[in-house]
Amino acid sequence: MDKLEFAFPPGAAPTFPSWRLSVLKALAGAAGVPLVKITNENAFAGALPRKCKTPAIKATDSPSTWISEFGAVCRHLGIFLDTDLYPSFHNLPFSNERATQIDQWIDYSVNNLDNNYALPLVGQLTKGYDSAAFDDLVKGVRAELSLLELHLKSRTWLAGNAMTLADVVAASTVKYLFEHVLEGGKRKSLPSITRWFETCLSQPFMEQALGKIAYCTKVKVPQAKTKGGKPKADGKQKQKGKGGGKPAKQAKGKGADKGGKGKKKETQLGLDAQKFEEFGDWYSEVCTKSEMISYYEISGCYILRPWAYSIWDTIHQWFDGEIKSLGVQNCYFPLFVTENVLNKEKDHVEDFAPEVAWVTKSGQTDLDVPIAIRPTSETVMYPFYANWIRSHRDLPLRLNQWCNVIRWEFKHPTPFIRSREFLWQEGHTAFAQKEEADAEVLDILDLYSKVYEELLAVPVMKGRKSEKEKFAGALYTTTVEAFVPATGKGVQGATSHCLGQNFSKMFDIEFEKEDRKKDHVWQNSWGITTRTIGVMIMVHGDNKGLVLPPRVAPVQVVVIPIPKANMTEEQKKKMQEASSNLYDSLKAAGVRVKMDDRENYTPGWKYSHWELKGIPLRCEIGPKDLDKEQAVLARRDTGKKDFVPWADCVETTKKLLADIQKDMLESARAEFNESIVRVTNWDGFVPALDAKKMILAPWCEEVAVEEDVKTRSASEEGAGAKTLCIPFDQPELPTGTKCFASGKPAKSWALWGRSY
C-alpha cells in the first residue's frame, strides 16, 4: 500500500469527530506513506452514503470499494499497511488471538469512548443541550475510562508487549477527552491511563499526527445551537499556555506574500497546569517541556535528555571528588546476579523480591537458571569481598560504583522520583571496627546533605530511620529527608546504612586481627540517585517552569541581544560586538553562558523559553542599553532586574549567581520549617497531615504503633502517614512524655508525614 486515500462524505459537511482523522494520520506516518484526501466526488460516486459519520478510505484490495465504518477502517488498515501494529496472518492461531485482543479495544474506542462524547467537539448539538447534559457526558466518559484504567494498571500497552493499532486508536480518542472533557482533578483518578497515553505520544509518528497535548485546565462547556444552526456563543477555544510571548507577526510590505524573509512561526510556550492546583500535570509538563526528559515506550522508564543529565553529571563530579578525598575508590560490578546468591540474605531479598526483574530467556531458549537484574548490589559484591579480605591489612575496603539499577515498581511511576530504572552511586565499605563504620555513615550523610543544600538549594532533615523503615538487613539506616510543600509529601533524599556484621556473616567475610583471632568485618552501604533532580524540580519550580540553582544549572546566564528593525547597520554591529564581548568575558570568568542571538524568534519567546528551562540569570542588551553602555540582568528566581554598566557585568553576574544560590536555599528552608508542626496527641495529627504538614510528635518507637498510625491516618486527602525519620536534632523530651498515638512512654520525637 503506497498511499492512504480517504474521503469526506459527499455533499455534506463531515460529522465525524476529528480524532478519527488523527488515527489515519498516525497510521500513514507509521507506514511511511502519504495521506491523500480525495475531493473528486466521481471517484466514490454511489459508494458512500450521504452524511457518512467517518472519513472513509479506499479499500486496498478493491480500488472501487470504499470502507466507512470506522472499526472496519482501522482493521483494514491494520492488515494492509506495513506498520507492525496489527498481526500478520502467517501463524493463524496466534494471529487470530492477537487480532481479537486488538479488535476489542478498537471497538471499545469507537463504540464506548466515542459514544456521544465527541459530539460537542464537532458542533452536533441540539437546541436542548446545556451544561447539565455535558455533565452527564463527563460522568459517562469517566465510567467508560475506568475499565481502561483498570486494564492498564499492570500493563504498558493495551494488547501484548508492544504498541499496536489498539493503542493508536484509543490514544487518539483519549487525547480529545483529555483536552476538552476531563480537567486536571478528574484526570488525577486516571494515573495509569495518563502514563500509557504519554508513552503513546512519545512515539514520533504519534506526536507528528496528534501534536502536543494541551491538557484541559478548565472545561469550557459547549453552547447549544440556536434555531439557525449556529452556536449561541463563539466556540473557539482560547490558545493555551502562559507567558509564551507573542508569536512573531508575518512580515508586511513588499515581498511579504512571496515568501520574503520573516520571523519563523513560533511554537506556543508556557505551562497549562498550575503547580498548586494540578501538581501532577504541572510536574509532567515541566519535565517534558523544559526538555529534561522524554517518555519511553516502557512504563516507568524515561529518557534523560542533556539538560537533566548535565545536572546529574554536576552532582556526580562533586560527590565523586568528595568520596575520593575520603579514600573511596570507584569500581564496577556486573548488573546480573544469580538466584542462589540473591537469596542468601533472607530479610534483604524479601524486601526487594516484588521489584526484582528476571532474565528468563536467551533468544527463544529458556535459561536453565533465571538471572536477576540487580535492584542493589550487596549480594553481587559481597561474595568477592570474602575472597579479597583475609587480614586486617586488607581493611578498610572502601568501594563505590556509578551505575544503573532496575526495580520493577508497580506503583504509579513518576519521572525521577519513582521509576523502574534509575542512575545512582552505591558505596560498599568494610572495616575492622564498628566505630570506623559508624563514623563513615555520618561522613557520607553529611555529603548527601551538602548535595541537597549546597548544590540543589533544597533543605533536608538528617535523622535515623525507624526499625520498620530501615534498609532490609541493616543494623541501622540514616537518611536525609526533603519535603515538597505543594503536595505535603516527604521524599527520602538519600540513605547511609550501617549493615553491622549481618552481611559479613552471611557471606563469610572474615579477617585475621592483629592478635591472630578471626572476626567478621563491619560493613556500610550508601547511595544517592537521580531522584535528587525530581526533588529540586518539585521544590523550586513555578508556573513558568524550572527554577535552577546556579551551581547545577547547565547554563547559568543567557545573553540576549534585542535588535530593532529600525536600527542602522552600525548600531546592529555595535550591539553584536557588545553582546559577543560580554559573552566572551563571562565565559573567561568561568560562568556557564549561552548566547541567544537567533533572529527568527522574538525577544518575548526567548524570555519564556529560557524561563521554562530555568536559567538563573538573563542578560539583555536592547537599543537603549546600547546607548547607555549597560545590560539588564534579570533573575529567574525573583524576576528582579538590575541595570549594570558593561564594565561591571562580570563581577555583578558572579555576585548575583552567589546571591541566587543562597536566597533559593533560604527561601526553601523557611518554607520547609513552616511545614513542620508539633503535635502531642492524636486529635491534632490527622488535621495537620491533611493541611500538608510534616508532624513532629513524641513516639514510643514500636513497629506495631507505626503500622497502626499508617492505617488510622489514611483519609480522603491521601494515604496514611509513616515516620520520615527520627531527627538527630531532638527537642527536649520531658520525663513522662507519652507517645502521641499509643499513650506508652515516648522514647524520641519522630518526624511523620505522607511520602513519595
Domain spanning 306-540 has what CATH number?
Answer: 3.30.930.10
How do 421-431 and 522-529 pair as beta strands?
Answer: antiparallel
* pLDDT value of residue 91: 43
pLDDT over 70 (residue 132): no
Compute the average pLDDT of residues 426-433.
98
Band of pLDDT at residue 230, cut at 50, 70 and 90: very low
Per the CB < 8 A criterion, the answer to whether 59 and 73 are in contact is no
**And the C-alpha cell for 531?**
531522584
The verdict on whether omega for the bond into residue 396 sits within 30 degrees of 0, i.e. cis, is yes
Look up residue 157 and give its amino acid: W
Lookup result for grid cell 519535565: 287
Using the predicted structure, report yes or no on whether residue 420 has a pLDDT greater than 70: yes
Q: What is the pLDDT of residue 46?
A: 61
Distances (CA, A) of 373 to 40, 62, 267, 334: 59, 51, 42, 9
* pLDDT tens digits, one per residue of 457-484: 999 999 999 999 999 889 999 999 999 9
Q: Which fold is adopted by the domain 557-672?
A: Rossmann fold (3.40.50)
pLDDT at 542 over 70: yes
Q: What is the pLDDT of residue 208?
A: 75
Q: 139-191: per-residue pLDDT in tens?
A: 777 778 888 888 888 788 888 778 888 888 888 888 878 887 777 777 777 88
Least-confidence region, from 144-148, 180-184, 220-224, 415-419 = 220-224
Angle at 558 between CA 306 and CA 576, to 5 degrees: 125
Mean pLDDT for 444-455 is 98
**Per-residue model confidence (pLDDT) at position 52:** 55
Q: Which residues of 191-211 are buried (b: 16+ CB within 10 A; e: fewer)?
A: bbbbbbbbbbbbbebbbebbe
Cβ pair 158, 164 in contact under 8 A: yes
The overall pTM is greater than 0.75: no
Q: What is the mean pLDDT of the chain?
A: 84
Q: Determine the pLDDT at residue 410.
A: 59
Whole-number Å distance between alpha carbons of 235 and 219: 12
The region of weakest confidence among 144-148, 395-399, 558-562, 583-587 is 144-148
Q: Do 474 and 454 form a contact (C-beta atoms < 8 A)?
A: no
Is the separation of the CB atoms in 674 and 631 below 8 Å?
no
500 beta partners: 523
- Out of 17-31, 159-173, 197-211, 379-393, give the one with best mean pLDDT: 379-393
Nearest to 5 by CA among 87, 67, 85, 78: 67
pLDDT, mean of residues 41-51: 60
What's the topology of domain 4-210?
Glutathione S-transferase Yfyf (Class Pi); Chain A, domain 2 (1.20.1050)
Q: Is the dihedral of CA 320, 323, 329, 335 positive or negative?
A: negative
630 or 128: whose pLDDT is higher? 630
Residue 731 is classified by DSSP as P
SS3 218: coil
Query: Residue 88 — very low, low, confident or very high, per pLDDT cuts 50/70/90?
Result: low
pLDDT of amino acid 125: 45
Burial of 247 (0-12, 13-18, 19+ CB in 10 A): middle
Residue-wise pLDDT tens digits, 686-701:
999 999 999 999 999 9
Query: Percent of the chain having pLDDT more than 90?
Result: 52
Q: Look at 4-8, 167-171, 499-503 and tell me which has the smallest mean pLDDT.
A: 4-8
Query: In this structure, what C-alpha cell is assigned to residue 745?
Result: 512512654
Q: What is the pLDDT of residues 348-395, one digit of tens each?
A: 566 666 788 889 889 989 988 889 898 888 889 999 999 999 999 999
Q: Name the class of domain 676-755.
A: alpha beta
Domain boundaries, the chain: 4-210, 306-540, 557-672, 676-755
Mean pLDDT of 188-195: 84
Lowest mean pLDDT among 62-76, 186-200, 461-475: 62-76
Decide if pLDDT at 227 tops 80.
Answer: no
pLDDT at 220: 65
Q: Which of 216-230, 301-315, 653-667, 735-749 has the lowest mean pLDDT?
A: 216-230
Give the least confident one: 181-195, 263-277, 615-629. Answer: 263-277
Contact partners, residue 193, CB within 8 Å, separation at least 6: 145, 148, 149, 152, 174
CA 52 to chain CA centroid, Å, is 42
Alpha carbon dihedral 414, 415, 419, 425, in 10-degree steps, equals: -140
Residue 31 scores a pLDDT above 80: no
How high is the pLDDT of residue 344? 72
* SS3 call for 41: helix
DSSP symbols for 63-126: TT-EE-SHHHHHHHHHHHSSSSSS--SSSHHHHHHHHHHHHHHHHIIIIIITSSTTHHHHT---
Instruction: With a cut of 50, say whether residue 546 has pLDDT above it.
Output: yes
Q: Residue 56 phi/psi, 5° resolution? A: -90, 155
Beta strand 748-755 with 694-699: parallel, antiparallel or unpaired? antiparallel
pLDDT of residue 178: 83
Q: How confident is the model at residue 134 (pLDDT cuts 50, 70, 90)?
A: low
- Could you tell me the three cell numbers for 98? 492477537
Structure confidence at residue 21 as a pLDDT band (50, 70, 90)? confident
* Length reported for the chain: 756
- The answer for residues whose C-beta is within 8 angstroms of residue 383's C-beta and 6 or more apart is 341, 507
